[in-house]
Structures are given as C-alpha cells and as structure tokens.
Structure 1
Amino acid sequence: MPSPILIKCSNLLKQKKLTLATAESATAGRFCAELAIIPDCGEILKGGIVCYDACIKQDVLGVPPELVEKYTPESAEVTAELANRLRHFMKADIQVAITGLPMPGGSESEEKPVGTMFIHLLIKEKHVAIRQVFKGTAEEVILQTIDRIAQELIDQLS
C-alpha cells in the first residue's frame, strides 16, 4: 500500500499534468512499483531504469566510469549524472535518480554510514540534490527515501 504522502504527490503530479521517470539504484525500482499501484498512475509515470550495479549506470545510462571511481556508485555526483542521463532515455517533466546505502555492502564509511541516501530531482531544468541519512532496516530506509522524494516534489511543485 503506497504511503499517504506518495498518493498526495501522485495526485499533485496528475493535477499539474506532469510526468516522471526514474533511475533507481538503491531502491531497485521500489519507487516506480509504489507509484504503479496508485490509481491513474499511467497519467504520470513514464517508466524507470533499475541501475543497481555500477555497470548498468555506466553501460546503459552512460555514466563515465571515472565519475563512479572517483566518487563511488553511491554518491551525490553519480546520482546527479543519472538524473541528467535519464533525460535521454525517457522524455518526462521530472527525472528522479536515487542511489545510496540502505544496507551494508556498498561504499559506506564514517562520513557516509549505512542509511545514507542520495536523491537528485530534475524538475524541467531545476536541479534539487538531497543527501539524507535514514535509520532502520533496508526496507524502512527505502520507504523513508520514497516518502522524502514525494514530500520534496510536493514542496517544489506547490
């Protein structure tokens, strides 16, 4: 069941006749999946690319390997590049890119602990970059990230 905030966001996007596409790494398509079960989501959701592994970020979306090597696959820089590259794959009013560390096993460090999530929204030509650390299980971190994106879209579009 999608969260109330995501439903509110979906309704606002429909009301404003805006479309959305995603490049999802850490959330592995969950943002799209949550949107897809909201009535009339076909009016807003163009589609998404799951780019969990760095090779998909590079080979499919064209993120330069040097960027991934310098900043890690889970970084603000790579997330911004994903949002920019997504524009060439899916025409939408809004691009949403997500990377991060919902569980151990990535590039976590003292400065970037597990729970750190990177979001980059490209709303027409406006860039919104978010770095936030969430607490909880991997699923809780992912669901909190989805709600954070929904709230930011509401804030930006209201």
Structure 2
Amino acid sequence: MFNKCCELLAKEKIKIAFFESASAGYLAYRFSLSSYSGDILIGSLVSYDLRVKENTLHISEELIEKYTAESMQVTVEMINKGKELLHADLYVACTGLLKKGGSETTEKPVGTFFYSIYYKNNFYNFRRVLRGPAFLKLRKLIYYVTQDIKLIILEDKRR
C-alpha cells in the first residue's frame, strides 16, 4: 500500500507535508525512504512536546485544555496552523497515544490515533485504535494513512 501511495502521489504531482505528534516524524521518515521522495515530500514538523504545538504551531492553550493534545480537534488545528509554515498539496496531521502517559481514558485507550488528511480544501478525519508494541502500532498507522491517502485521491479523480 505504501509504495502504491507514493507512486500515485508522484504520478499526480501531489506534494505532501506532515505535522506529527505521537508518530514523532515516523510518517515523514517512511516517505523519505521512497524512491519518489524527491518528487512528493515537502517536509514535516514534529510537535511531540506540547510547547511545540503552542509556540510553533500557535495552537491555543484553550483548545488543548478543552479537548486534550491527543484529539481530533487539535489534529485538525495542526493542519490549519501548519499550512502557513509548509506549502503542499496534501497535508497529514497525526496525534495519539502511542504509549502510556498521555490523556488516555477508557474511551480513548493507549493505541488511539487521530489523523487528518487535508486535500483540495477538504478535511478527512480518522480515528483508529491500534494494538501491539509501539513499533507495530506505527507500522499499522503508516498502512492506514497511506491507504486513506490513496482512496481520497482516487475518489477525487472520479468526480
């Protein structure tokens, strides 16, 4: 799925940028390994620490306090604020709970990831609960993110 996604981005001349929290740059790292990376990857901003979200992305403390740093609302706001810093055709933002120590609850257990894909003025928001050790959660995350990117682009082409 990953290679097909990168190939599709290159074929369609779509540039991608990432705003990552829980994945700590893993998504952009994986894209950098693609033979298409020079054609598709703009860059990434990692906001693993809350201060980066507040001081670099200028996400309001009130939004974070209301919804937590690991939420869909903050994930979407990472794109809204981040696209002023990085200019691309498609954006991906990701927050979540890779391991214990965040805002986990019974409704939002460890392994919950929120990611948003922004393409052609539309947000596509996803919530996934992934199980297993941290490295396996990240491998599953890249699978789902690239699958969803591909589906979004192909659906857009059909319109």
Report the TM range for the smaller structure's normalisation.
over 0.9
Give the aligned partner of residue 90 of structure 2: 94
* Residues 103-148 of structure 1 deviation map (CA, whole Å, 9 limit, x = unaligned): 1110000000001000011112010000110111111111111111
Look up the match of 2:52.
56
- What is the alpha-carbon distance in structure 2 between the residues aligned to residue 68 and residue 31 of structure 1? 23
Structure 1 unmatched runs, 5+? none
Which residue pairs with 1:73 in the alignment? 69
Q: Residue 157 of structure 1 aligns with which residue?
A: 153
TM-score by length of 2: 0.95
The 3-state SS of whatever aligns with 1:132 is strand
Other structure's SS at 1:7 match: helix
Give the alignment of 1:1-158 within 5 angstroms. Answer: 5-158=1-154
CA distances 1:9-68 after superposition (whole Å, capped 9, x unpaired): 000000000000000000000101111011131111000000001110110011111001
- The ranges of structure 1 where at least 4 consecutive aligned residues each deviate by more than 3 angstroms after the TM superposition are none
Give the alignment's TM-score, normalised by structure 1: 0.95
The alignment's C-alpha RMSD in Å is 0.7
Matched-pair contact (CA < 8 Å) for 1:6–1:147: yes
Report percent identity of matched pairs.
37
